[in-house]
Structure 1
């Protein structure tokens, strides 16, 4: 019995008709052959807070002689034209058993087998070489299949002329069930009654329209093909960059005048020459920028040049020097592509060019003239960054019993840092404070025989009476800090605050210390007391509101405090030691807006929670960040930056972003618009300039420049889009827009844009011989539908009943800060088979090939690992052999395994060693520590696993991949009728 069949044993078929107020029989009436775009959606038509009672009962009959009444819990999954028929159910599938009945019900259906469905209109133009997926959805004789769904056949990817191409693996052809053939305008009610003896099938892994999910375009296959193409190769990033490897493909980059795609990744690598072409494509023009990205181990280090020796950039717009500058007058002046003006070179930096308008003679010796990425070291210095620790010693914290463990972990970490400092690593200044309703500052000066405590009772207007000794070099104050840490668990309950302690208090105190000493730093807060709800946000936005967008909006005091931290370079990291949902008092706004992180724990009672805390603390302190970071974006003079999306406080200009701290994974999405037509010969250029200070106070500037070619042809533009890049761009834009617009509207808008993009490609770039039943996708956008569907039904945009407001807020901030690779893995997790790890051991497990994220991929006799940047799940089938269980878990009985958080035993078996090595490797690839969750087949906690099977219908009511793809195809075809 498969996992899907096991899951269905506990489900009962849903009687949707009548429960949602829909009549059992469709009312009659004329149909609008061309509905407006708001009807072509999968989004909810009901208030966001409304939940259907049968959320968990999602089963429906698989017998083709049944009429299916079905809807998602988030709202109707609409069939084009159906929503125009009174109060008819949005998905009422007619059932036809013979070809004759089908012809009688639908006058549009072909009367002869050789009668084809009329093709779409002729394309405006067509160029050779454009590839698109050809997923056949064609009418065939239904009675040949004995009344069952027709068999599936295989088709090929075709070029614009309709000829098969050998450059891409064949894509499947799917055949729709006969009741769905013909025109999509037809709505035919079925008179067939429901067969109560039918065997229910899984609504998660199969399409209600008869499409086999296994034959649909596969994101796993796309990633595997790209990984195989670039295996053991180097991507050469030259001027007018070619299409790079996917973000999920690890590939070294050779900088030949263009920055690495890990730093700047454009949504398309062929920019349309004019804005009309962008509007025609319906896909966004923009870029993902990760300015502080780490370089691949196989790449050369980032070239560094000193400020006095570096050739200055444009004096008009402020853009830095880069290979995109065009030299003229034998090197005396250069043309700036970002503002279109000519700048003269100072005589001290003059060098002749090779020819009148050729490159400078010293090009190969200067990184700013030949490299897409380089760094400038400035002569002026700032104050070194500090590490400031704030520990809650309120009554509830002292009663919690975890202060001793926290103090021990801080002690071990600081001693480890002190040993590293002794090995030549630069020293770090450390400060310590404790708080309840008051602030306790400690003078750690080495001149004192013991540290002195200074108590500040007036917390409304904090003033520091002394400054000396508040931040001291770690090597000089390690003994003083150790003595204070030993005393903290022995504090007495002097101030019992019944209303809780506000997180704003330690943030304000830490910020005051950093401001007094004029230095940036990391502020680590270890908070245990209950939160003061009214000081953080307005609770009316969380509960009882019909405006779901308001739950994502921080209050004005929070934003004001975050801005002060950003100006000072104070990055707040909050370790919340007693996890709780306290109305609107979500404490994560300030940490995430200042480049920090919110870590939550359940009172640190278990060993796993304590190990997780230790890993989080170590990674937080050791992660290298850019302090007081200022990011400026420059684009070609005929373009402009129209929007910037990411985890930061928006400023006055979308082309400038200021952050308190910036790590290697933080990515922003930049949206670009045309001001006038681009010159095809000059191309387009994007430059990201990051100014920041290091841990030691050194001021630096990183310059990244990407040049792209332009084309007036829409087909060329489509060929240079990549699905994973579009997913990351859509995610950042949607997750930022939730603060301003309703979620339902965003989901509908996202589906509309993708539908119109597919219709545009079908009309202007595909062959005229393509029939209506053929699904047409650009070559590198084959996986876009499954990515977009996963984004639409994410917990942020489509919450389930078991997702709290705090979880949604946390998830939004975590995903907003991810890079393109992390975003792609989050929305399409890696599903790895573990019980075969010892086979073909020469290949790394993570590269051996992932499985599709669907329940069909899970066999009861197997072990599977789901890997995302935030989650690590180990699924155990109920028929796993006893010897496999013994090798991994040291037990031979599945029911004896613990569910939930766990740690694998340290066994000497080859399978145990391989699995633990794989987990360690995957943990090194993410920015935060993760717990390993064991999910047994059939357990109640299996819903956690189902949320990550993104090709299936999700527990919160999101449509399956097959159903979503069907609607995208049908709606895109309707737009052309």
Structure 2
């Protein structure tokens, strides 16, 4: 599907806005900069004459189409307002979901180095819900749009897959008052000897080291420093940023060895996966430490001996209410499963194992990685089956899982969970452990090693989890220009203070959202935000990753609405809805989401639509927002039909921490038509290694052919829908069988027929491989083949039920359609008409 329009067209006029942007700031700010914008320009010009060669060198930087911001010239104002009628534009233009956010339009000379295209952070790292900031809290309230920042400090699991510059020395220049880090938006005064903070306007000295190369022992051009040219940069932190010497990475594996884990094959699969992944763990300096605890009704520790005839000893602690620690625990994997092969013990003491693991590493810190196939049913933190009838079990059932996280944070310990029970496991309670220690909960319902696909998914995800680079002993702080306050924080971390988020270990596959309040009127044309993450790398270096974002401000709604980022807003409202679901009820959460859509439509109709149109009018750049919030109400988290509480809690945990692009795909799955895709799909693009994918379709069967093949990607699973009237030759090409009813259905893999690049089977497998590869996530997507249409051959009742359940699951991804008791998107828009003021 081609885009129907250019997403965010630039206006042809609007010099009044430009004049306002370049005008001197108004009085009233306690940290008010008495130098006007014109004065700053004059200062910059003087500086340019002082160091003309350096400035000329940087004039070669030019903004490109994919630049995160646009520097305005004398004829370019802010984004223009364009209106769409939601009710008339059906099906919705889903191509918008893959378009960039509305451009960030900044005045000329906002950056120290003219025209540097890397000065503002890419939305992959740092983005705002609004790319024009209201200049007062009353205007923000009137808009009904949220103001929040989304911080995604890393966009790849491995450091080498990023391109973030690092300072060449350990000189860290910060504002003496607000502690903001020097960045591309500061101004230089006094012939370049001092810099003015763009957050609080205080003058600070330029460090002498800025003009001296410690490595080569010669003068250096300060304009070449990466922190003055790049929005995302890492500082090499000096010793004063370390409270103690760098610690080794410690992985303590807590492994379920009860009868449930042995029968399902979890114990054997996990130990083999860890063994095969040991060389993937970041271990440049060979300092990584590994420990293992087996858990059933007792705690089992293992000590490695030098005697090869007796390579290890088993130490069993049977009194789990007061466990003691063995002198040493070393790695043991090959013989691990056989030690418990004949067990009949059904008890699983997770709480005592966690406390023991905590005692083992509390002087160092590290990770407690737990693998469980059972509900913790003995010792501290014992849980019982909760009655799910008529209830939504999202609350924590035992305070141990809340109090223990405080102990973990004080000792720099993260807890990660890999849960795989075939029965109730109380994910809602257990997930508190990762949520407040910067970890993650991974849930594999009814997992069994008898299924090759189950083993593959678990092994791939555990291996990628262990191999990702992590930061240690990290903290995150977000700063803003004077007048802003960081109000609420969302994500997996521990709040150490009102504005400081603590991470015992810092993951690379999670995102964080910060709600902002406006406390003082904004008097400047441009405002600034900065996120800083202090952490130790896996190589023992202390680093500070800094992300910078500059945004224009305005006192007009018709500037603010066309700047709104619909994907970022969806992310924010997702967190607010989760908050309501946990504190109140699912119904309150869904009512909240629908009410927000109505509020925004009402404001737009009342304040921004001319002529009093009776349609559902909304700014074009926001036209996917009602669809996304509607689709959010149909996810597992908020679905009104009965959903097992473990599945619901797992979905909540996942959506509450993933980056924006994965969140959107989870809410609104991507559908590809395979039977009629162009010949080049499934093949590398010209001069590139990227596989070309088909154009996405709307998530609705209204455009489907009854002879088609469709692939659905919901960011967690892939569904291959085989329509009932599919052409037999197409089935033959894909599955090597002409009989529709002999193809494997359910969780499976496509057969590898031939590696001919023009072969249909090969191209589909390449597309699936492309969708499975995610450089910023460990998720491995299982493939489910779903047979559509009527069943013309007799099959057993159990097979019929399985087939129908699979169809219902795949159909639930088609969020634009009516599913069960949930309305279609068209019906939703119809219901909105009566709620939007006439």
Q: Could you tell me the TM-score, scaled by structure 1's length?
A: 0.68
CA distance in 2, matches of 1:581, 1:333: 62
For 1:367, the equivalent position in structure 2 comes to: 226
Q: Is 1:699 matched up with 2:539?
A: no
Contact 1:537 1:585 in 2 (8 A): no
Distance 1:426 1:502, change over 3 A: same
Q: What is the DSSP-based 3-state SS (H/G/I as helix, E as strand, rest coil) of the residue aligned with 2:406?
A: helix
Q: Is 1:930 matched up with 2:781?
A: yes
Distance 1:845 1:795, change over 3 A: same
For 1:382, the equivalent position in structure 2 comes to: 246
For 2:359, the equivalent position in structure 1 comes to: 512
Name which of 957, 963, 966 aligns with 2:827: 963
For 1:751, the equivalent position in structure 2 comes to: 594
CA distance in 2, matches of 1:504, 1:240: 59
CA distance in 2, matches of 1:488, 1:283: 55
Rg (Cα) greater in structure: 1
CA distance in 2, matches of 1:300, 1:413: 22
Q: Is 1:722 matched up with 2:565?
A: yes
CA distance in 1, matches of 2:598, 2:493: 31
Name which of 630, 654, 669 aligns with 1:789: 630
CA distance in 1, matches of 2:521, 2:94: 38
Name which of 518, 532, 546 aligns with 2:377: 532
Name which of 450, 473, 495 aligns with 1:628: 473
For 2:18, the equivalent position in structure 1 comes to: none
Name which of 881, 884, 895 aligns with 2:727: 881
CA distance in 2, matches of 1:280, 1:487: 62
* 1:580-638, Cα deviation, whole Å (9 max, x unpaired): 11568854332444313324252322222222222122112112222332111111111
Q: How far 1:718 sits from its partner (Å)?
A: 0.3
Q: How far 1:949 sits from its partner (Å)?
A: 0.6
For 1:317, the equivalent position in structure 2 comes to: 178
Q: What is the DSSP-based 3-state SS (H/G/I as helix, E as strand, rest coil) of the residue aligned with 2:702?
A: helix
Distance 1:256 1:238, change over 3 A: farther
Q: What is the DSSP-based 3-state SS (H/G/I as helix, E as strand, rest coil) of the residue aligned with 2:178?
A: coil
Contact 1:325 1:336 in 2 (8 A): yes
Count of paired positions:
719
Contact 1:536 1:586 in 2 (8 A): no
Contact 2:171 2:236 in 1 (8 A): no
Q: What is the DSSP-based 3-state SS (H/G/I as helix, E as strand, rest coil) of the residue aligned with 1:551?
A: coil
Q: How far 1:969 sits from its partner (Å)?
A: 3.8
CA distance in 1, matches of 2:597, 2:390: 30
Kindly report which structure 2 residues correspond to 1:565-964, keeping only aligned pairs within 5 A, or say none.
Answer: 565-582=408-425, 587-594=430-437, 595-600=439-444, 601-653=446-498, 655-681=499-525, 683-768=526-611, 770-772=612-614, 774-801=615-642, 803-837=643-677, 839-841=679-681, 847-908=693-754, 910-925=759-774, 926-938=777-789, 939-940=803-804, 941-955=806-820, 957-964=821-828
Q: Is 1:440 matched up with 2:300?
A: yes
Q: Could you tell me the TM-score, scaled by structure 2's length?
A: 0.78
Contact 1:295 1:301 in 2 (8 A): no
Q: How far 1:777 sits from its partner (Å)?
A: 1.4
Unpaired runs of 5+ in structure 2? 1-76, 213-218, 240-244, 790-802
Contact 1:577 1:604 in 2 (8 A): no
Contact 1:574 1:597 in 2 (8 A): yes
Distance 1:443 1:697, change over 3 A: farther
Q: What is the DSSP-based 3-state SS (H/G/I as helix, E as strand, rest coil) of the residue aligned with 1:580?
A: coil
Name which of 200, 204, 207 aligns with 1:344: 204
Distance 1:608 1:737, change over 3 A: same
Q: How far 1:401 sits from its partner (Å)?
A: 5.3
Distance 1:296 1:700, change over 3 A: closer
Q: What is the DSSP-based 3-state SS (H/G/I as helix, E as strand, rest coil) of the residue aligned with 1:738?
A: helix
Name which of 388, 396, 407 aligns with 1:564: 407
Contact 2:106 2:551 in 1 (8 A): no
CA distance in 1, matches of 2:251, 2:625: 43
For 2:242, the equivalent position in structure 1 comes to: none
Distance 1:524 1:971, change over 3 A: same
Contact 2:255 2:370 in 1 (8 A): yes
Contact 1:331 1:351 in 2 (8 A): no
* 1:676-700, Cα deviation, whole Å (9 max, x unpaired): 110233x211111111222233221
Q: Is 1:456 matched up with 2:317?
A: yes
CA distance in 1, matches of 2:729, 2:761: 12
Kindly report which structure 2 residues correspond to 1:61-460, keeping only aligned pairs within 5 A, or say none.
Answer: 129-134=80-85, 174=88, 215-216=89-90, 218-223=92-97, 226=99, 255-294=117-156, 301-305=163-167, 308-310=170-172, 312-331=173-192, 333-338=194-199, 340=200, 342-345=202-205, 348-349=208-209, 362-380=221-239, 381-398=245-262, 400=264, 403-414=267-278, 416-417=279-280, 428-444=288-304, 450-460=311-321
CA distance in 1, matches of 2:79, 2:456: 57
CA distance in 1, matches of 2:520, 2:646: 44
CA RMSD of aligned residues (A): 3.5
CA distance in 2, matches of 1:452, 1:698: 36
Kindly report which structure 2 residues correspond to 1:484-503, keeping only aligned pairs within 5 A, or say none.
Answer: 485-491=334-340, 497-498=345-346, 500-503=347-350
